[in-house]
Amino acid sequence: MAGVKTEDGADDTALFTTEGHTGVITLNRPRALNALTHPMVLRIAEALTAWERDPAVVQVLIRGAGERGLCAGGDIRAIHDDAKAGGDASEGFWRDEYRLNARIARYPKPYVALMDGIVMGGGVGVSAHGSVRVVTERSRVAMPETGIGFVPDVGGTHLLARAPGELGTHLALTGAAVGAADALLCGLADHFVPAARLPELTAALADAPAHEVLARFAQQPAPGVLAGWRPWIDRCYAAGTVEEIVERLLAEGDPAAKEAAETILAKSPTSLKVTLAAVRRARRLGSLERVLEQEFRVSCHALRAPDLVEGVRAQVVDKDRNPRWSPPALAEVTGADVERFFAPLGEARELRLP
């Protein structure tokens, strides 16, 4: 399978091997922090289909090439260029990516994700829906979309809506990255294994099922910060609007709460309000499939909104870190503005998942 040609002519952006009884996916764009492309998504889906039918493969492992991380997300430069040109390539990418996210969550064999290093956006989508999720002391797990004028997707609003209390709302609005202990607390991971032991863990998985192997390798991580912050997080983020959340954070008198407020105020006002609505609606929708369908609507509408192009320009293209959001203030984003992101796309364009 490693030799299958993709539509962009490359055949090594994702590698597929079988090690003993384990099918191994290696995301192989280390210089791009293993950012996902559409061909990579399609080839992963193809591999999962083949391994699901292969009785010799009892489990699947996904990992990232290089030392920096599993995956920093989707290729947002490509999404920026597509949005700027008014194209629809991103819509096709998201359709297949979200289908893959749902597939991973329902995969009938153990799906082991090594969430070492940076795991953000689309990287969360190909890992945190898996049945066996491993973090290390190097893990930095985040859904940072509000900082680029976008909204958490790839099932991220589903995962964050299920986190204890208002922890998920805090992570969704701030885009903050969490380490191992906090990823475990939020339900984004299952096991902590020191990074130095990952090669040994991978080798052991070739010969034994994941539940047996992890029992030998899993340890307790160093303490995180979110458990200690729960009281003010739950108080502040229970508010009904982003404006009130910020007011409560600033009134707390806690330096960490003040920093969270300042972080939120630097993000896209439109993205913040849509994100809060998306997480709250995800709680009511229940299943991952229904949430992914909602996220697809939101993503497609975001593609036509000004803040996505501007956010990626400021953070990734020009790197001036000075986005000019439109509108620039929370008070200027109306309820109707938010509702437009959840509007039906029309039957031919909607994502429908079984």
**Residue 239, SS3 per DSSP:** coil
Interstrand relation of 132-135 and 14-19 (parallel, antiparallel or unpaired): unpaired
Structure tokens at 230: 């729960």
Helix and strand element counts for the chain (H, E): 16, 9
Q: How far apart are the first and last CA of the chain?
A: 27
Q: Rounded to whole angstroms, how far apart are CA atoms 249 and 258? A: 6
Structure tokens at 312: 């990626």
CA angle 328/329/331 to nearest 5° reads 145
Q: Do the beta carbons of residue 21 and residue 54 sit within 8 Å?
A: no
Catalytic positions are: 74, 122, 145, 153
Amino acid making up residue 304: R
Sheet holding 191-192, edge to edge: 14-19, 22-27, 59-64, 111-115, 132-135, 191-192
Q: Rounded to whole angstroms, how far apart are CA atoms 264 and 259? A: 9
Closest CA to 171 of 51, 264, 282: 264
The Cβ of residue 143 has, within 10 Å, a number of other Cβ atoms equal to: 31
Structure tokens at 35: 């950012």
